[in-house]
Structure 1
Amino acid sequence: MSALPIRTQTSTSKMPTLSAARYGKDNVRVCKVSKDPATGIHTVTEMTVCCLLEGDIATSYTEADNSVLYASHLGAHFLAKYPHIHVANIKVVTHRWARMTVDGKPHPHSFWRDGHHTRDVEARVSRADGIRLVSAISGLSVFKSTGSAFHGFVRDEYTTLAETNDRILSTDIDCTWSWAFADVKAVEEAQAQFNKAFDDASGICIKTFAEDESASVQATMYKMCEQILDAAPGVRTVSFSLPNKHYFEIDLSWHKGYQNTGKDAEVYAPQSGPNGLIKCEVSR
C-alpha cells in the first residue's frame, strides 16, 4: 500500500502586525476642595480622568513585556520623562457641584448637583504635532414647548412624519470646539481664553436655543457654531451632536371629544426611540 502524498500549502497572506495601540488608565476620580482661610468659603472641583499613551509599546502586546507601560501622570509629563512615548491622550470630565443657597445666602461649604451635563476636555500631546485640545459641553438637556418648525423636507413612500410649523424641540447638547498649540507654554499663555470660551459657548447654546425661531435642528445648530467661532478667535472648529428627542401629540378625542391636537395640544407622549440624530462641524 503506497503512502499518501504530503501536500504543502504556501500562504500569500502577510503576518499580522499591530497597527495601533493605546494603554493607560480610565475612570481615575479625583476631588479637590479649595479652602479660603480668610472667608471660610470652600470650592469643590470633581473630575474623572482618562489617560492613554501611544509609542513604542508593541512588545507589551506581542511579547508580554510590561516594562514600557506607564499610566500615572498626565500629558507632557509622559513625553518629557519617557522617550518611547510619542503621544499622550488625556480626557478630563468635570462634574457639576453648584453652591447651595440657604435662606437666600450662598452656603460656604455645601453643594448640589444642579445638572448632569459636564465640562470636558481632551488633550492629544504629541512630539510630532504639538498639542491639540478639544473642549466640550456634554449632555446639556434642553426643552422648549414652541418656537420650532420642520417642513419642506424630502418625502418618499417611507415618510410618516407630518410637516409642522410649531412643535416641541428637545435635545441633549453635545458641543465641542478645538484648539491647536505648539507646546505647553503656549497653552499656559492661552489659559484665560478657555474659561471665557466655555462660558461664551454655554451662553450661546442656551440663548440661541431659547430665542431662535428654529426652522430645523440643523439651522439652529449652525447658528450656534457661527457665534461660538466669532466669540472665540483661537478656536479652529466647532462641532455639535444633537439627538432630536421627540414628543408626539396624543389623540384624546375618544375621551368625551377632548381636543388635544394641533393648536389645542397640551398632553404629549415622550418617545424613547428611534429618534433623529443631527451632527455638524463648522470650521473657519
Structure 2
Amino acid sequence: MSAEIVEGFKFEQRHGKDRVRVGRVWKDPSNGFHYFVEWNVGIRLLSNCLNSYVRDDNSDIVATDTMKNTVYVKAKECQEPLTAEAFAILLAKHFTSFYKQVCTAIVKIEEKPWKRIHVDGQPHRHGFELGSGKHLTEVILSKSGALKISSGIEGLALLKTTQSGFEGFIRDKYTLLPETRERMLATAVTATWRYSFESLHSIPSGPTYFTDSYSAVRKVLLDTFFGPPNVGVYSPSVQSTLYQMAKAVLNGFHDISSIHLKMPNLHFLPVNLPNPQNPSVVKFADDVYLPTDEPHGSIEASLSRIHSRM
C-alpha cells in the first residue's frame, strides 16, 4: 500500500491477526485413512481504513477477530486435503474479494511437519509423528490480481561428521580459530524461495503441485549438502555449501525465481584434555566434541535469476 499524506506526514498502515492455530483432519471413507495438517496462520490486510486512525471512525475496519474466525470457517469448507499454499491463496482471495476496503491481503502459514507413521512396515491409517523442519508459505494477493507466492522450510537440522573444513581466512591479533580440513558441520537451514507466478491464472492446476515442489526442493537441498552416500562432498566453508545448495535449486526448478538461505554454523568443539603425567587420557582424534549453539556463526545469502524480483 502506498503511503498517504496525513496532517503533513507520510502514513502507512496495515492490521491483522497472528498465531491463528488450526488443526484439520480429513477422513477418507473409501480406505479409512485420515489426513492431518497443523497450521499457524498469520494475516495482514492493507485496507482503506484511514478514518479509524485519524477520525475515530471504525466503520471500514475488518476486525481481527473476524479474520481469526474466517480461518476456521474456510478450513471447515475445504472438503479435500490441500496444501498450505492453496489454503493461503484461498484466504487471500476471500479477503480481497469479500471486503471492498481491502486492497491487498498477506497470508503467512507455518505448517508443522507431521508425517504418517508406519507400523510393521505398513502405513498407519490415523497415526502421525513430528518430523524436522517447518513448511512455510507466504501469499501476497492484491485486488488487481497481482500475486506473489513464496514457500520455504525452517529449522531443517543437518549434520555431517566429516568432509568439512575451514582454511585461509583472515588472521590477525584477534584470531584464535585454528585452520582445519577436518571438522564436523552442523546447521539448521532456513530456506525461502519465490515462485515466478504473477497471477492466480498462472498457477499449475494440479492439487499436489506445491507439495511435490516442496518435497523436491527439500531433497535437492539435502542431496547437495551431503553429497553421494558413499563418499559425501567436501565443504570448504558454510558459505560455499550454501551457494551450491541455492544454485542447485535454481538450476533444477524453472518455476522458482529466487531463493534465500540462512545457515547458522552450530559448533561442535573438539574436546582435548591434556595431562602432563598421561597425555593420552583424553586426546582428541575427531571423535569427542562439545556441542554448543551459543554463540554461533550466521551465514545467509540470496540467489535469484537476473530479471527476477525477490
When normalised by structure 2's length, the TM-score is 0.80
Alpha-carbon separation, structure 1, partners of 2:145 and 2:12 = 17
Contact 1:260-1:266 at 8 Å conserved across structures: no
2:207 and 2:251 map into 1 onto residues whose CA distance is 18
1:58, 1:102 → 2: CA distance?
57
Q: In structure 2, which of residues 293, 297, 303 is the aligned counterpart of residue 276 of structure 1?
A: 297
For residues 235 and 164 of structure 1, do their structure 2 counterparts lie closer, same or farther at Cα, with a shift above 3 Å needed? same
Residue deviations 1:173-200, cap 9 Å, x none?
Answer: 0011102433323235476542232112
Amino acid at match of 1:124: I
Contact kept? 1:24, 1:53, Cα under 8 Å: yes
Show the counterpart of 1:78: 95
Cα gap change, 1:20 to 1:191, in 2 (>3 Å): farther
What residue is the counterpart of 1:10 in the other structure? none
Letter in 1 for 2:139: A
1:89 aligns with 2:98: no
- The amino acid of 1:95's aligned partner reads K
Q: Which residue of 2 aligns with 1:169?
A: 185
State whether structure 2 residue 201 is matched by structure 1 residue 185: yes
> In 2, distance between residues paired with 1:168 and 1:76?
47
Aligned-partner residue type, residue 260 of structure 2? S
| Residue 53 (structure 1) aligned to one of 45, 64, 67 | 45
Corresponding residue for residue 114 of structure 1: 131
Q: 1:180 to 1:60 in 2, by over 3 A?
A: farther
> By how many angstroms is 1:201 displaced?
1.2
- Offset, 1:50: 0.5
Q: Which deviates further from its counterpart, 72-81 or 180-189?
A: 180-189
Greater shift in the superposed pair: 35-44 or 181-190? 181-190
Matches of 2:206 and 2:36, distance apart in 1: 24
Residue equivalent to 2:35: 43
In percent, how many aligned pairs have the same letter? 31
- Say if 2:197 and 2:255, in contact at 8 Å, map to a contact too: no
Aligned-partner Cα distance in 2 for 1:191–1:224: 27
Q: 1:15: how far off? A: 5.5
User: Paired residue for 2:175, among 128, 134, 159?
Assistant: 159
Name the SS for the 1:167 alignment partner: coil
Q: Which residue of structure 2 aligns with residue 143 of structure 1? A: 159
Task: Provide the alpha-carbon RMSD of the alignment.
Answer: 2.1
Match of 1:11 in 2: none
* Alignment correspondent of 1:236: 257
- Counterpart Cα distance in 2 of 1:260 and 1:16: 70
2:263 maps to amino acid: L
Check whether the contact 1:26–1:50 (CA below 8 A) recurs between aligned residues. Answer: yes
- Structure 2, unmatched stretches of 5+, are 1-5, 71-90, 228-232, 306-310
The 8 Å contact of residues 136 and 153 in structure 2, kept in 1 or not, is answered as yes
- Structure 2 residue corresponding to 1:227, chosen from 248, 270, 273: 248
Q: Deviations along 1:90-119, whole A, 9 cap, x unmatched?
A: 00111121212223322111111133x111
CA contact (8 A) 1:98 1:111 kept: yes
Once the two structures are TM-superposed, the CA of residue 168 in structure 1 deviates from its matched residue by 0.7
Greater C-alpha Rg:
1
Q: Is the 8 A contact 1:237 1:281 kept in 2?
A: yes
Q: Secondary structure at the match of 2:170?
A: coil
CA distance in 2 between partners of 1:148 and 1:237 (Å)? 27
Once the two structures are TM-superposed, the CA of residue 128 in structure 1 deviates from its matched residue by 5.6
Which sits farther off after the overlay, 208-217 or 184-193? 184-193
Deviation at 1:27, TM superposition (A): 1.1
Q: 1:51 to 1:33 in 2, by over 3 A?
A: same
Letter of the aligned partner of 1:239 in structure 2?
H
Matched residue type, 1:133: I
Q: Counterpart in 1 of 2:270?
A: 249
Q: Is the 8 A contact 1:200 1:228 kept in 2?
A: no
Alignment CA distance shift 1:194-1:231 (3 Å): farther
Residue 264 of structure 2 aligns to which amino acid in structure 1? Answer: P
TM-score (structure 1 length as normaliser): 0.87
2:239 match? 218
Aligned match of 1:101: 118
Q: Deviations over 1:126-157 (max 9, x none)?
A: 24671111100111111111111111111222
TM-superposed deviation, 1:260: 2.8
Q: Which amino acid aligns with 1:139?
A: G
Distance 2:186 2:145 in 1: 39
Alignment check: 8 A CA contact 2:163 2:183 kept = yes
